[in-house]
Amino acid sequence: MTDIAANLGHIAPLGLYERNRARPFLGRTTCSHGRLVAGEWTEVQLVYEVGGSGLADGAAIKLAIKFYSDWALFQTSDPRAANYVSAEYQAGDLVPGQSPATVQALKVRFDQKGHERPFQKSVIIDVIDGYLNPGDRIIVRLGDRRQGGPGTRVQTFVEKSFRFRVFIDPLGSQKYAAVPGDCTLDVVPGPPHALRLVTPRLIVPGPVPVLIRAEDQWGNTVEHENVSGSLRLTAPDGTVAAHPITLSAKGWAVLRRDDLALSQAGEWRVDADAPGLSPAFAFVSIDEQAPRVLYADLHVHSNDTVGTNDTFYNLSYGRDVAGLDVLGYTANDFNVTETAWKEAVALIDRFNQPGRFVCYPGTEWCGNSAAGGDHNVVFLRDAPPRFPHDARGNPVRSFEWNESTRGALRPGAWPLDDLYAAYADDPEGHLLIPHVGGRRCNLDWHHPELERLVEISSAWGQFHWVYADALKRGYRLGASASSDEHQGRCGGGNPATSVFGSRGGLTGVLSDGVDRAQVGRALRARRTFATTGERSIALLRLGDQWMGEVVTAGAGTLDYRLLGDHGWESLQLYDGDRLLWERDLHREAGLSDQHVRLRLGGARIKDRYRGAYWNGALTVTGASIRHIQSFGFDHPEQSCWRDGATSVALRTVTHGDTDAIELTLSNLADAQLRVDLGIGTYVKVGDPLNPPVNPHASEAVLAVSGADLLAAGRVSSVLSGTELEVSLERITAAALPREVAGRIDLADLGLEKGREHPLFLTARQRDQSRVWTSALFVSGS
């Protein structure tokens, strides 16, 4: 039936005008959940109701999440497999005289770069052969379980107000508009799984701060839980003191103790345990001559740009959960609004507390690698930072593009030369740190006064090569590491399962005091070392001159000292990119005839999506495998397991870091060992169930007899890539030392006269954690 509108003089379905006018023009979206547990497996349903515009034949819908989320990649090829995503059409009610929609099908695909930053990861639904009416519905099932699939694995890190955003192209014109009213939910921690301890590794006698927190299986600090247990302090002489502990039941499950005085010189052991949780341990060395070591994370994002949770949350986490001494907030310069920047700077000033917690404002200059690449700018002074304009009123952003610019991209300080010019008149008030992230730094550019450190480890991976390259070029740069945290877990936190796949780093700073001025001077003086997130210690000096200094010396000895928690296995001294000297602590302790290790690591490429995705097995014949243990595996989705009597299978990813599997064999002499690994890449486009192989090195094959391995000690295969390598090696059955110190005579190094030698030490622990000292820049007299 149709209705002849008496006043308007035309024919239209009865009541449709009023109903469509009452609908949101672009539609609305609802979600089945308001709360999810980080890392859980589930099915999430989102329902898009078509708005007053309707959807044309050839229209499309995008369901998008932010690119930093490590929610498992969706797939559309196998409805019985994990992370299957589907879309189902449901017709709405019709009014008298209204024709039904003619849509024949919906086609679903997933594209990691399917929309604009930050909402890039997109499920795209194409309308096929017909149109949709206002009020029709599309049900999207993430992790559709109807055909037997296990569901989808949720993002593994905590986020308040995680957002699904829907965009529609109602006309099929490839012009998308955001549907008002994002679907938001909270991703919350899972149940307590393990305790974590944060203590200084080296300190003078007196009160020692001890921070204890409870984490879920993905490394999130749990909230609103009742966790009680005990803290035990074992002195160097074996005396034990026990203390009951109860973590906060409000907010984060954390306890900080500042009243534990350790006076006896030597190494103390600290243990924390609670019923049902994995215990934690740490070591503290008490030394009257210990330098003051602060731990800094100078590269932390909040949701002002592309981080997780707000700035207050991230600063609080760094101070109260990670137990940092120094934190640097970093806003992507092109993306932060002036309002958000001003509010962040004011908040940072309130958090900055001389004597306890140093907090710096900063930006990330986000130029493409062809224009200089990513550089952090740390504003060291108490004065208002020069951003978004320099002292002369010139823009200092790389460019400006955010939601408030309505799609316009405004050029700024570009290329890197313009950024140097903005701050060159006050180098003491600024610190520029080139780093390897999404847009890796290009070392064709360098400003010796502004750039005093380079970031060589972060959640993006480990980058020994960038430090070696910088020093080879003659740049006087020190070592630093930061989290580059996008997941709200700064301070060397746990990695995500996506492109931020490594533990975040930390910078050790030898500072005379705890305030912006003194820490800033230490950073600019390069009195630093870098760790892969641990509270390890790495010290290097020549006489009275510390790492980072420029030294003229014809003779003398390098003194080094390393302290860790899991035992040092190797030390290497480099002159820029040239290996000069090394110690193998496994060999020094005595190699075992039964203990061997498979170690793999490195990255595919130097740029973004650098991860090498390893999948395969180590097969041992002629001997039985009595025990296996993995080291360096970063989260539950990286694992190894027994696969029959003769094989150990593995699945892991390295981003410049290394992973290892130790095996105890019944008899190495008669064994045959063979490694067969495929190497895949990150799925940017295509089916996640069929990831592309690494085009430069698609596999790693390594075979050796036990007799040959006994003789050689180690066999390896260096692959095409960035420090990409697989090795089989004998190891010791003895405990490795947690403290290593020694002296290296300059005369034994054969240093060429007439030039400067940047000498730095790097070392690795059994758990595959790593440290780098800043270089000593030594010239012969």
Predicted confidence (pLDDT) per residue in 645-679, tens digit: 999 999 999 999 999 999 999 999 999 999 999 99
Strand partners, 259: none
The pLDDT of residue 493 is above 80: no
The answer to whether the bond into 691 is cis (omega within 30° of 0) is no
Q: Is pLDDT of 603 > 90?
A: yes
Residues 290 and 292: their CA atoms lie apart, in Å, by 6
- DSSP β-bridge partners for residue 722: 603
Task: Report the percent of the chain where pLDDT is more than 70.
Answer: 98
- What's the number of CA atoms in the CB half-sphere (13 Å) around residue 749? 28
Mean pLDDT value of segment 355-371: 96
Residue 492's pLDDT is 84
Average pLDDT over residues 270-293: 97
Give all strands (DSSP E) within 346-395, no chain letters: 358-360, 362-365, 375-379
Smallest Cα–Cα separation from 124: which of 660, 777, 685, 569? 685
**Token reading at 97:** 């005289």
Instruction: Identify the pLDDT of residue 397.
Output: 94
Reduced to 3 states (helix: H, G, I; strand: E, B; else coil), residue 34 is coil
Instruction: Give me the amino acid identity at 362.
Output: G
Q: Among 445-454, 521-530, 553-562, 687-696, which is the least confidently predicted range?
A: 687-696
The pLDDT tens digits for 446-455 are 999 999 999 9
Spatial contact of 627 and 642, defined as CB atoms under 8 Å apart: no
| Residue 2 scores a pLDDT above 80 | no
**Mean pLDDT over residues 103-124, rounded?**
93
Tokens of 28: 């609305």
CA dist 225 and 12 (Å) reads 60
Average of per-residue pLDDT across 256-278:
97
Q: Using omega within 30 degrees of 0 as the cis cutoff, is the peptide bond preceding 361 cis? A: no
pLDDT, position 780: 79
SS3 586: helix
Which class for 467: exposed (0-12), middle (13-18), buried (19 or more C-beta within 10 A)?
Answer: buried
Rounded mean pLDDT, 465-475: 98
Per-residue pLDDT tens over the stretch 313-357: 999 999 999 999 999 999 999 999 999 999 999 999 999 999 999
Confidence of residue 8 (pLDDT cuts 50, 70, 90): low
pLDDT band at 483 (very low <50, low <70, confident <90, very high): very high
Q: Is the pLDDT of residue 3 over 80?
A: no
Structure tokens at 300: 């932390």
- Count of Cβ atoms closer than 10 Å to residue 30 Cβ: 12
Q: Give the per-residue pLDDT at 687.
A: 87
The identity of residue 600, as a single letter, is L
The average pLDDT across 610-625 equals 97
The predicted model gives 145-152 an average pLDDT of: 97
Contact predicate 347/312, CB 8 Å: yes
Cα 376 to Cα 395: distance, rounded to the nearest angstrom:
16
Q: Which of 275, 432, 290, 439 is nearest to 368 (CA)?
A: 439
Give every CB contact of residue 148 below 8 A, 6+ residues apart in sequence. 79, 80
pLDDT, position 686: 82
Q: 1 pLDDT band (50/70/90 cuts)?
A: very low
Distance CA 319, CA 709 (A): 48
What's the alpha-carbon Rg for the chain, to the nearest Å? 29
pLDDT value for 438: 85
Closest Cα to residue 367, out of 320, 296, 403, 418? 418
**Can you tell me the distance from the alpha carbon of 127 to that of 687, in angstroms, rounded to the nearest whole number?**
21
Euclidean distance between CA atoms 728 and 716, whole angstroms: 6
The helix (run of H) or strand (run of E) holding residue 755 is none
Q: Find the mean pLDDT for residues 720-737.
A: 97
- Share of residues in the chain with pLDDT > 90 (%): 91
Beginning with the edge strand found earlier in the chain, give each strand of the sheet holding 647-654 in spatial order: 639-642, 647-654, 612-621, 672-680, 699-705
